Structure 1
């Protein structure tokens, strides 16, 4: 699929710190933030196969969900502009004017914004809500909130294949669980994955990661865990 120049594989850098040396720990940074200025981090990996599926399905519009400061909303808007899709962002809550910087960025990349009240937003995955959006907005390829689905898990699994240095543990932040599910799926038998919940009360994320893996792989790999006490207040 033609598109912008992407820095892949993203570089791996060694983090130099006397405290790490004293503890006998070696830390490597996988610089996915350098993949693309507007599709950094896990965003490209989650979107890669979804964009291909949308193109194969003949979809011209991507629709997704997010809060008013969602990095996923920004990324989908950028991907639409870069790969030739119309985009719609369904935002939780009421519209505010002026737009915050995240939503202004999305609009500047051509995204159309629409809003759902918080009660309806909690039901956003229900067929009745999705059908109503299709009636109002026309047909679209649906990307879930945060971009995590089976195709996103597949894309995140590829990150591990790019790391040529040996390691014991791979760590990442966890918002919806798709990245952790993919990373863990790509590990060697002696390796494990450790996620840090960015959400307060994120105990439910373990069930979500296991569900993503079962959908993508047929089973949960069991080589991962999530720390939920490092959200710094949520």
Structure 2
């Protein structure tokens, strides 16, 4: 569903947000898109178990846990941080995953860095038996196939498509399906330019650009300016934004409009990639630091 924002911008620029967060109550946004063809592949190949990776408040872990439950798969989540094993009840994301039937395996951050190595995967198979492997964040060729379905024919009117970036899968699908007159702008949630090569491995177009000034210090980092923006945006538009991905992207787009980055009369489409489940965990961190919280009525 596309929702035009009733905000007035200079130079007759218009903003519309694609509400991918409303696709599914628990497998929302890009997670739904990324899992669609992976689940079909797992079913076709007659796997009984899904195994994947994620951190303490991972949207991906929550989505795989629920999707697995819904589709009848056993699910295993390899979680970064062995200290979290005794804190499941204190963590809304991990509690949700466990309640969906996901088996949680906590490993050290050092071990977690080995997650892509063949020997590490073989050790997991020796421990858990055969499984269908979904990478951290869900990005693979089948995930990108799903993300290519985010844009629809009704989106042809837009000049710019804007998307937050984690592992690069969602924007890769959008780049592949964007029309020749459209420019895709990516807003990384992580510091650095390293994602360019990852995205290039999945696309063969040059209709895109990464804007790396809106990570707010890096992955999972927020400050009072960002929290204030998310709260104000919700009060004005009744659209919740998550603080890790979409909140930073929308902040960046509006800042760029004010800096005259976009030509006059540009029509801009913002992709809401979901991630709202992570707000509860972020608010726990903010309260511990005695900072303002994200005030959204779910």
| Equivalent residues of 2:188, 2:215 under 8 A apart | yes
The alpha-carbon deviation at position 185 of structure 1 amounts to 0.3
Residue 154, structure 1, aligned to residue 138, structure 2: no
| Equivalent residues of 1:12, 1:163 under 8 A apart | no
| Residue correspondences, number | 215
Q: Structure 2 CA distance, aligned partners of 1:93 and 1:112?
A: 15
SS at match of 2:154: coil
Q: What is aligned with 2:65?
A: 77
Per-residue CA deviation, residues 147-194 of structure 1 (Å, 9 max, x unaligned), is: 000001111111112534510110110000000000010011111210
| Equivalent residues of 1:192, 1:223 under 8 A apart | yes
SS at match of 1:163: helix
**Mapping 1:131-150, distance limit 5 Å:** 131-150=122-141
The alpha-carbon deviation at position 212 of structure 1 amounts to 2.4
| Equivalent residues of 1:15, 1:29 under 8 A apart | yes
Residue 12, structure 1, aligned to residue 2, structure 2: yes
- Which of 181, 186, 191 is the matching residue for 2:177? 186
Q: What is aligned with 1:119?
A: 110
SS at match of 1:173: strand
CA RMSD of the aligned region, Å? 1.1
Larger RCO, structures 1/2 (Cα 8 Å, 6+ apart): 2
Q: Structure 2 CA distance, aligned partners of 1:177 and 1:208?
A: 7
SS at match of 2:14: coil
**Mapping 1:1-234, distance limit 5 Å:** 11-18=1-8, 20=9, 22-96=10-84, 97-99=86-88, 100-161=91-152, 163-164=154-155, 166-201=157-192, 203-213=193-203, 220-234=204-218
SS at match of 1:23: helix
| Equivalent residues of 2:51, 2:131 under 8 A apart | yes
| Equivalent residues of 1:200, 1:228 under 8 A apart | yes
| Equivalent residues of 2:156, 2:179 under 8 A apart | no
TM-score normalised by L of structure 1: 0.89
Per-residue CA deviation, residues 123-160 of structure 1 (Å, 9 max, x unaligned), is: 11111000000000111000000000000111111111
TM-score normalised by L of structure 2: 0.70
